[in-house]
Each structure stands twice: as C-alpha cells, then as structure tokens.
Structure 1
Amino acid sequence: MAITRRSMLGGALAAGAGIGTMAALPRATAAESAAAAGPPGDVVGKISVGYQGWFACQGDGSPINSWWHWSQDKSKPPSPSNTTIKSWPDMSEYSRGFTTAYPNLNGGGPAQLFSSWDQQTVDTHFRWMRENNIDTAALQRFNPFGSEGPTRDGMAQKVRQSAEANGRKFYIMYDVTGWTSMQSQIKEDWTSKMQAHTASSAYARQNGKPVVCIWGFGFNSSTRPFEPGPCKDVVDWFKAQGCYVIGGVPTHWRTGTDDSRAGFSDVYHAFNMISPWMVGRISSAAQSDQFFTSVNTPDKADCDAHGIDYQPCVLPGDLQERHRAHGDFMWRQFYNMVRLGVQGIYISMFDEFNEGNQIAKTATTAAGVPSGSGIWALDEDGTACSSDYYLRLTGDGGRMLKGQIALTAQRPTAPVR
C-alpha cells in the first residue's frame, strides 16, 4: 500500500496517544465557545469536508488519462498487486464505471471504479453533501505547475459547477507537499487562476472574505522543508489579498513537537483559523477522549487567546484497520468537539479511498468488494451499515454543532435506515 501524503508519522503519534476516560463532560459555556469566533459564515459554525477529487481512469477523457490515485503504476489498471486504495466505493449511483484488473466482485460483476473527471461523479458527491446537510467542501489543490496541472484546473471548474447546482460552498485548499517553488508559484496560481472562482456564489466566505486554506506548513517532514520565513510571507500575502486564511497544521502545532517543527509559532498564529491534522493520530473513542483533554482543550485555549478560530478534524476511522466501531468512534469525536465549543469541524475526508477514511458511499458487504482482495466492507465488525451511513452521521454531527439537536454522547444515527 502506498504511503499517502498525510499519513506519515501517524503510527508513532497514535502509539503515544494513550487511553482516556469515556465520561460525559458538559458543553463549554457560550462565553467560552464564542471567545475567538468570527460570526457564523461558510466555515465558522459549519461542517467542512476535505474533497480530493483526484481519481482518474484511462479513457475517461481527462488530460492525465491514467489510473491517477487508483494505482501505484498509474499506466496500468489497479489490481491486488498494483493499488493505492484501502476501501471500495459503492458504485451503484455512478453513471459510468471503469473496469479494473481486480477479480470480479464477490457478488458478481466486474470490479469497476469511478473517475472524478466525470461531471456526474462530482454532481453525485455534491448531491450527497446536500442531502446530508454538509455545508462546505475544501477542494484539495497540489502543485499545479506539473503534469497534473490541467486535470487539477479542470476539477476546480467541475467542483464549482456542482457546488452552485447543489447550494453547497467550496474553497481552495492548497497542499504544499513536494512543491519546491511554492512561495512564488502559489501566489501566481491564485492570481492567475484560482482567484477567479471567488466570483462564484458558491465560493466560501468567512467574515466577508474568500476562504483559502494552506495545508502543510511546519510539518516535520522532508516533503515540506519550508522555513518559517517563506511560510509566514505566504500567509501574510493571502491576507493582504483580502482572504480569510485557514492553516492545515500539524497535530502538535502548539508545542512545536512530534509532527511539528520548532520555530513556527508566528506562522501558526498568523492564520485566521487553525485546523490541526488528525489522521493516524487516534483510532478509538478512548483516544479521542485523551486528545480532548491533552490536545484539543489547550489548543482551543491558545486559539482563543490569539483571536484565532479553531476547526479540529473529525474522522470516520480507517475502515481497513477496523477503527470505525460502526460509527461510535466518529460520534465520540463529534461529541467531544461540540462540548469543547469549537468554531467549526473539518471532516477528513469525503472521498479518501486511499487511506480508508472516506465518508462517501462505500461497499456495505463482502458482496460489493472484489473477490480475494482482502478489502473490508462497512459491516466488518458484524454490524450492518448502509452505504450512506457516514454521510448521515456527519449530517447529525453538523446538526449538533449548530445546536439543532442537543449535545449527546449517544449517536442518534442508526447504522441502517
């Protein structure tokens, strides 16, 4: 299995997470939760989901014309020995599927996958967001100056069209991983291409400003070697352009340890909103409780003290590693973050079939996965779950965040309708 850009250091951090208490604690007071918050907008008081939109297939008409993000060798169709994915999508609502080199599904029929390049795929995903009251999508954008650039440019337009059609919001989320000339090129890309999308009625705004996220500053990783000075320059530049800037930062940004390099405090505190990464850091409800005490609570206090909005990650769990506990893991995170009084919640991720952390519709039983693949379906722990379960769970988490349902440690969402 290929290591994805955001799962590095996860094992070591998770191992040190410890086990916490499952006791129910009260919600933060209104005064505490409002300390740093801007007014409700398209990210404050809202559920945002990370949207990769990076899957392509040979013959799908995309400029990249390869099995992009489905295969290790993207010139060849994915197979058990040539794959980058950990979960299998429920393909029943896609108008077109592309046949892979996996064996047929256990339930019969070819093992097919979708292409994000198909407008119908993006339309389907944004319809699911609308149907489940998911507010905002953060479109991931990597270095667009290489061979992937035309495909990434096209995906931005497709996401804009679907967001407008479905009454959802979207914003550009730059990931600086491996982007050598990031400091100058990210500014060029914004002014020459992505800024034009802020004219859309669907482009997310917060405090009246277009939202931009920059993910990856300060990470203790050789693929993100940038020094504090260039990073601070980029944050300040986007703010000078009139943007509300979110920082996708390391889990331990506040202490400058573990996955965070030292010396980045001024960079982190320059952001309007901080969204620390959590994939690979926790894998159980008990660990969510431990992070609530040792990480999330002091993180929010630091943000409050600096007038920064706090948008922690909530993740469904790695399905292939059997972390999900039929929704109990994800719901405990929703409960912990809402009782903390956070300004917004970021779901990691909508369509992350590579890391197995997707909330998009997923195969429900072994009948829906390729024979002999070893890929787990949503019923891996013996509890039947409908393919849209994690979409519905996210919708209910959003309702609790907005005060539309009471704070509750018991998930109100049944695994099957």
Structure 2
Amino acid sequence: MAITRRQALALAAATVSTAALSTAVARAATQTAPRTDASPVGDVVGKVTVGYQGWFACAGDGAPINGWWHWSPDMSKAPAPGANSAKSWPDVRDYTATYRTGMPNLNGGSPAALFSSWDQQTVDTHFRWMRENAIDTAALQRFNPFGSEGPTRDAMAQKVRSAAEANGRKFYIMYDVTNWTAMASQIKDDWTSKMSAHTQSSAYARQNGRPVVCVWGFGFSDDARPFGAAECLDVVNWFKEQGCYVIGGVPTHWRTGTEDSRPGFTDVYHAFHMLSPWMVGRIGTAADSDNFYQNVNQPDLADCAAHGIDYQPCVLPGDLQDRQRAHGDFMWRQFYNMVRLGAQGIYISMFDEFNEANQIAKTAETAADVPAGSGIYALDEDGTSCSADYYLRLTGDGGRMLKGEIALTSQRPTPVRV
C-alpha cells in the first residue's frame, strides 16, 4: 500500500537517521493492504499463550551464567533474608533437582530450596503441566542475547524446544527489547543466525502458515525502550519480510498514544499482525477488569478489527503478594470479559514470574510452605485453601471457554482443590 502523508510525517518526526527513515518508508510502501477479518484458528489465534521466562538459575546447576540468576539481587550469593528476589515461593515437589538457599527453613520445617530453569527436567515438568492443563502455547522471553546472559538464553531456547516437542505444545520466540541498545541491528542478526533455526521444529508456533515471532516493548514511554518510530517500523517490516507472523507486545494505551505509550507510534502498532497490550500493574480487581473491558478493551478490539489486526489481550492471575487474586475470581473475571469481548487469543502474564508474584506455575499452598519470617504469602492468603496447581487448572478452564468447549460463564467453574 502507498504510504500516507500522515505516516511520512510521523516517521520524519522520529529521531533517526535519514537512511533509516528512507528504509522504513520504502518498506512501508511495499506492505500489502491490511486484512479486514480475523485470522483463522492457529497456534495463537483461538489459543491460550503463556509468557515463559525460563530465566532462573542456581549456583551449582551447570548453567553458563553461573549464579543465582533472578533468584537473588546478587547472583553470586544465594537468596537470604533481605536479599531475595522471589516475591512468591514455588512449590518444588515435582522437581528432581532443587538447590538449597540461604533463606530460613520453611515454616513446615523443610529446607528452603529453589528450582533451576537450566535443568531439562524443570522445563520438561513445566511443559508437562501445560499439557495436563490444556495450555496451548508458550512465548519464550528473549532479552538482549549479546551480553553475558547470551549463552544461557541460547541453550534455554533448545531446552524449551525439546520440552515442547515432547509434550505436544507449541512455542515461539518473544523478543523483549528492554535496555537493548543495539536492538535495531542485533535483533535481525540473532533471528537470522540463531533463533530462526527453531522454526524447523514441529513444535514451533505458526499462524496463517507463518512462524510466529513477537517483539515486546516498542512504543513504551520510558527510558528503557527509547527507540524511535521509524527504527521500530523497520524491524517489524523486516520480520514480515522474513515470512513471519509478527505480534507486538505494546503499551496498554497504544491506541491513544498516551500514558505508557509514546505519541507517533500508530503506524508501528498497525504494522503488526497481532497486538497484545501489556496489563501487569494496570488492574488489580474484578471491578478494574470490568472498567477496562468497557473503556479500553472494546475500543481496542474495534481498532484492531478496522485494521485487520488480531487481538490478544493479557489475562493476569494477579500479584499474590499484593493479595489481588481473590482465590481465582480476579483471573476468571478477566477470562469472562475477554471471551465475551471476542478476543482472537489470550496471553497469560506469566507462567513462571515468581519475581512479580504473577505466576500460574505451582506455588506454595500454605504458610507451612514458605520460608519462616519471609513475609511471603502462599495461595491461601485470603483464607481459601487452594492446591498448588490451582492457577494452572484455572487457566485450562479459561482456555476451554475461549474455544467454546464450555459455555461462557461469569461464575468460576474451577474448584480450588481437587
């Protein structure tokens, strides 16, 4: 389609070189006209996708990163009182290998031990949980792989591939551009030289016949993602030229270009095949979800439909440490709202985000299962006893409602214990 004057002005306003601007304009001019209908069911449309960090390591696990990656603020030291990065505590009974920390024993007397994502059995266990709970697809988070984390992240991609293949699940690469200074060139290099090889796997997610890739972070109005509109548009169109179905992990207020979104990014957002606006920290109650359904999600979906873009809103279990979960009622209200909205897919934030207490992976059930004196809440924090796998089961039921396998209902069908 021909680039409009509005697009050209938006590109010209971006702080990029003339060469980058010319490239972006040329590529925008070669894009085909937007679709006017939603995509058919594939590996992301009509499916539930979970964000998968896979970024935990422990001293002694053999990972190249060689430390307590994401478990401790100082990787060289085991988590300890006052120096622990886990906002929620995992249930570790299904792991064959765990690693003793410097935290006090659990209130029930057991050692305070954690899992490592580096262990293949850990990843296999996570994907088995996905299979057992009918969770379709995992988006493997990939931050800047050109620094010290690179070798560990490269190997994690292979571990995820193996686990997805073994468990009949799908996965795709989700680039997070946070603090990635040389992103504009390095993301292309990384895809071409490393990550695109994984698209040969039978487990690699495809949509509309194309391998799926997501870029998370374009347009956010913060210093960690300062990229201009033209260089972002260039990256999106480059991935499209590689034959990919490209998802944008975008700001909550992408449509209006306000609050967490930079102005002037409309053409970038509309270049994606699918949009998945961020929601962590935006809502914390069922009433908040209803408000967003009415005032944000409905107009978001309408804008996407008008531009032939698929819509994949976030659903959150809630921050357990901030006591948002309401024994699953908060999460179910979001499922109900997004299914009745007619969203093309749902993205769960996140599978294993123990750092932000937004995980659905198996979690400490009671106070007996968290380190003594830590102040960490377990799943029964509001007085309702929930099994460790409760949010996995809840996610599975939300997916069944999305697919029409159970009727649309505002009443949570998932028992807190089985």
TM over 0.5, yes or no? yes
Whichever residue aligns with residue 108 of structure 2, its letter is G
Whichever residue aligns with residue 411 of structure 2, its letter is Q
Aligned to 2:134: 133
Query: Which digits, 9 at most, give the CA deviation of each residue in 1:348-404, with x for residues without a partner?
Result: 000000000000000000010000000000000000000000000000000000000
Aligned to 2:25: none
Whichever residue aligns with residue 213 of structure 1, its letter is C
Aligned to 2:246: 245
Contact 1:122 1:159 in 2 (8 A): yes
Aligned to 2:331: 330
Contact 1:72 1:83 in 2 (8 A): yes
* Higher Rg: 2
- Within a 5 Å distance, the mapping from 1:12-161 to structure 2 comes to 36-161=37-162
Measured in 2, the distance between the counterparts of 1:35 and 1:384 equals: 47
Measured in 1, the distance between the counterparts of 2:248 and 2:53 equals: 17
Aligned to 1:190: 191
Query: Which digits, 9 at most, give the CA deviation of each residue in 1:216-266, with x for residues without a partner?
Result: 000011010000000000000000000000000000000000000100000
Is the counterpart of residue 291 in structure 1 residue 326 in structure 2? no
Whichever residue aligns with residue 384 of structure 1, its letter is S
> How far is the alpha carbon of 1:36 from its aligned partner?
3.4
Query: Which digits, 9 at most, give the CA deviation of each residue in 1:195-222, with x for residues without a partner?
Result: 0000000000000000000000000110
Q: Secondary structure at the match of 1:171?
A: strand
> How far is the alpha carbon of 1:102 from its aligned partner?
0.4
Measured in 2, the distance between the counterparts of 1:35 and 1:289 equals: 27
Measured in 2, the distance between the counterparts of 1:167 and 1:150 equals: 26
Query: Which digits, 9 at most, give the CA deviation of each residue in 1:112-142, with x for residues without a partner?
Result: 0000000000000000000000000000000
Aligned to 2:393: 392
Aligned to 1:19: none
Contact 2:36 2:307 in 1 (8 A): no
Q: Secondary structure at the match of 2:103?
A: coil
- The gaps in structure 2 that reach 5 residues or longer are 1-34
Measured in 2, the distance between the counterparts of 1:284 and 1:415 equals: 19
> How far is the alpha carbon of 1:35 from its aligned partner?
6.5
How many matched pairs? 384
TM-score for the superposition, normalised by structure 1 = 0.92
Contact 1:314 1:334 in 2 (8 A): yes
Q: Secondary structure at the match of 1:133?
A: coil
Q: Secondary structure at the match of 1:96?
A: coil
Structure number with higher relative contact order (C-alpha < 8 Å, ≥ 6 residues apart): 1
Aligned to 1:275: 276
Contact 1:36 1:303 in 2 (8 A): no
Contact 1:90 1:362 in 2 (8 A): yes
Measured in 1, the distance between the counterparts of 2:380 and 2:36 equals: 41
Measured in 1, the distance between the counterparts of 2:60 and 2:333 equals: 42
- The gaps in structure 1 that reach 5 residues or longer are 1-33
> How far is the alpha carbon of 1:80 from its aligned partner?
2.1
Query: Which digits, 9 at most, give the CA deviation of each residue in 1:44-99, with x for residues without a partner?
Result: 00000000000001110000010000011111001121121210000100001101
Whichever residue aligns with residue 228 of structure 1, its letter is A
What's the RMSD between the two structures over aligned residues? 0.8
